[in-house]
């Protein structure tokens, strides 16, 4: 297992995902510790794409609780149906939010965050955690991010 991430320069976003996702999958496939894997996924996505905030919230009883992340400190607990993260959990569906200020109930952990994608992770068809990625640019996420981040979260779900 390599501990260096190869990130192609002058590549499209899809090309970067194509290069980086197999490396992340290789990194997590041989490691049984969940928190180690969540920490490395957060770091790898932040390093490869320069996102403002990348991290996980884990389902614990009636709330999402902050897990490993990269970026500024964030709110610790989110209830089901609240904000973008709580909505992704409740609907068991990826949320792509081009302008967080236009999302009813968005939880502003940082005023620098402008757009956001939240992808659920499933175990036995239940949402057990969510990946949250925030950008300081408006409209920074599209179907390319959704496709590749859902693929990565499927791989993560298969390790649970």
CB-based burial, 82-104: b 16+ in 10 Å, e otherwise:
bbbbbbbbeeeebbbbbebeebe
Does residue number 127 form part of the binding site for ligand SME (CB under 6 A)? Answer: no
Stretch 21-60: interaction string toward ligand SME, x if CB under 6 A: --------------------------------x-------
The Cα–Cα gap between 10 and 23 comes to 19
Q: Considering CB under 6 A, how many residues would be counted as binding ligand SME?
A: 15
Does residue number 145 form part of the binding site for ligand SME (CB under 6 A)? Answer: no
Closer residue to ligand SME, CB minimum distance, 46 or 106? 106
CB 97 within 8 A of CB 119: no
CB count in 10 Å sphere of residue 152 = 23
Q: Which of 20, 24, 44, 109 binds ligand SME (CB under 6 A)?
A: 109
CB 123 within 8 A of CB 157: yes
Residues found near ligand SME in the complex (CB under 6 A): 53, 74-75, 78, 83-86, 106-107, 109, 113, 116, 132, 134
């Amino acid at each position: 297992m390599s501990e260096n991430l190869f990130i192609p320069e002058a590549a499209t976003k899809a090309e970067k995902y194509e290069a980086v996702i197999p490396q992340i999958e290789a990194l997590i496939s041989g490691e049984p510790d969940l928190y180690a894997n969540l920490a490395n996924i957060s770091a790898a996505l932040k390093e490869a794409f320069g996102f403002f905030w990348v991290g996980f919230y884990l389902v614990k009883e009636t709330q999402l609780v902050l897990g490993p992340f990269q970026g500024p400190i964030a709110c610790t607990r989110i209830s089901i149906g609240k904000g973008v993260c709580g909505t992704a959990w409740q609907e068991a569906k990826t949320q792509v939010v081009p302008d967080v200020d236009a999302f009813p109930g968005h939880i502003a952990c940082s005023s620098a965050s402008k757009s956001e994608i939240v992808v659920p992770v499933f175990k036995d068809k239940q949402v057990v955690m969510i990946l949250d990625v925030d950008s300081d640019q408006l409209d920074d996420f599209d179907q390319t991010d959704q496709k590749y981040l859902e693929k990565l979260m499927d791989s993560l779900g298969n390790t649970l």
